[in-house]
Chain A
Amino acid sequence: MILVFPAIAILISMGIYAVLTQKNMIRIIIGISIVESAIILLLGAISYIPDGVAPILDQPYDTVVDPLPQALGLTAVVINASTTAIMLALVIKLYNRYQTLDIHEIRKLRG
């Protein structure tokens, strides 16, 4: 169970490494969405109590999983989709303008 936290740290650093070094814009967006999914995994991992029960209380249980991070994580998942959609819309607009997906090319073209 404790193995989750190193995995989250690895995912976040891998995503940010991809954002720093990738040239293709769509890969940068994939890196960002992997960092966001790692945060969702973190919220799920923090809310878990060993042998807790899912927070659906059709009858009173004794140990229940912490529902608060899951509720806020649900909002975070939907916002991830919206931010990814806006980033992709910007990629399409940049492609129509500069005919390339390479971020270094676009940085050079100041025009």
Chain B
Amino acid sequence: MKKINFDKVFSFILVSLLGLFIMKVLYSVAGEEAARFTADHYISYGVDETGAINIITAILFDYRAFDTLGEATVIFTAASVVALLLPRHEASMLKTEFTPVVQQSIAFILPFLWIISIFLISYGHLSPGGGFSGGVIISAMSILIIFTYGYRYMTRRFNVKKLSLIEDIGALAFLTIGLAGIIAGGTFLANSQVGIYPGPPGELLSGGLMPLSNFAVAAKVGTGLSVIFLSLARED
């Protein structure tokens, strides 16, 4: 037992030194007013350049859409790694037999979850939300189905093949939106600099191709995370 105490004490000292160092760095960062050139540009010109009211979605899907493309591939690789890693065989999920009350209420709730996610995705450029939160709610629906109705019920409707098909469609849609930027004369994924109809800010159909890329990323995030959960909860 002596050895473990030495480890604990040593790592405690090490970690508290790290904590003091981080605190010093954070205070020096918080102190001076960092010059916010890019943020000021986004705030002052964001709405009329991209037509989207929600500046964060404008940043994510228009000014820095390439980062979002990279981030969507992170989820894609995470899903394929988890699907590859986990074996199909003997891990058995504890069958949680819910009473019919729970199953009926979940059956009642699921369409409303679908409405919430479609609302968050399509209104992403007007109110907080956007492709990521809407997509994650879609994957939360598949998790809910697996918990209440069991793994087999879910795979009869949406097995891993169908889900990854939808994910690939989302990826291709996002790439075609990028190519549309090139076709319209600008660079890859440049939908508002090229003047693709941004529409009056505040309308539902404003923001150029942003609603479409919202849907594409939501499809990728939603199905990617459901594939992760399907392979985590996999049983034969």
A residues lining the B interface (CB < 8 Å): 2, 5-6, 8-10, 12-14, 16-17, 20-21, 42, 45-46, 54-58, 64, 66-68, 70-72, 74-75, 77-79, 81-83, 85-86, 88-90, 92-93, 96
Beyond A20-B14, A57-B43, 11 additional contacts (C-beta under 8 Å) are: A5-B30, A12-B22, A56-B54, A64-B55, A68-B39, A71-B60, A74-B60, A82-B75, A89-B82, A89-B85, A89-B231
Distance between Cα atoms of A42 and B7 in the complex (Å): 29
Chain A, interface SS category: helix
Contacts of B228 in A (CB 8 A): 82, 85
Distance between Cα atoms of A71 and B52 in the complex (Å): 14
Q: Is the CB of B60 within 8 A of A9?
A: no
Q: Mark B27-69, 1 if CB is under 8 A from A, else 0.
A: 1011000001011001100110000011110011000100110
Query: How close is A21's CB to chain B, nearest CB, in angstroms?
Result: 5
Contacts of B16 in A (CB 8 A): 13
Q: Is the CB of B232 within 8 A of A5?
A: no
**CB-CB under 8 A for A21 and B11, given A68-B59, A75-B71, A78-B75:** yes
Contacts of A79 in B (CB 8 A): 71, 74
Distance between Cα atoms of A93 and B128 in the complex (Å): 38
B residues lining the A interface (CB < 8 Å): 7-8, 11-12, 14-16, 18-20, 22-23, 26-27, 29-30, 36, 38-39, 42-43, 46-47, 53-56, 59-60, 64, 67-68, 71, 74-75, 78-79, 81-82, 85-87, 91, 127-128, 130, 132, 136, 202, 221, 224-225, 228, 231-232
Distance between Cα atoms of A82 and B83 in the complex (Å): 12
Contacts of B26 in A (CB 8 A): 5, 8-9, 42
Query: How close is A1's CB to chain B, nearest CB, in angstroms?
Result: 9
Contacts of A89 in B (CB 8 A): 81-82, 85-86, 231-232
Contacts of B19 in A (CB 8 A): 9-10, 12-13
Query: How close is A91's CB to chain B, nearest CB, in angstroms?
Result: 10
Q: Is the CB of B38 within 8 A of A68?
A: yes
Q: Which of A12, A46, A83 contacts B29 (CB 8 A)?
A: A46
Contacts of A88 in B (CB 8 A): 232
**CB-CB under 8 A for A57 and B67, given A68-B38, A89-B82:** no
**CB-CB under 8 A for A78 and B85, given A21-B8, A68-B42, A88-B232:** no
Distance between Cα atoms of A34 and B55 in the complex (Å): 28
Q: Is the CB of A74 within 8 A of B132?
A: yes
Q: Which of A5, A70, A86, A93 contacts B23 (CB 8 A)?
A: A5
Distance between Cα atoms of A49 and B87 in the complex (Å): 49
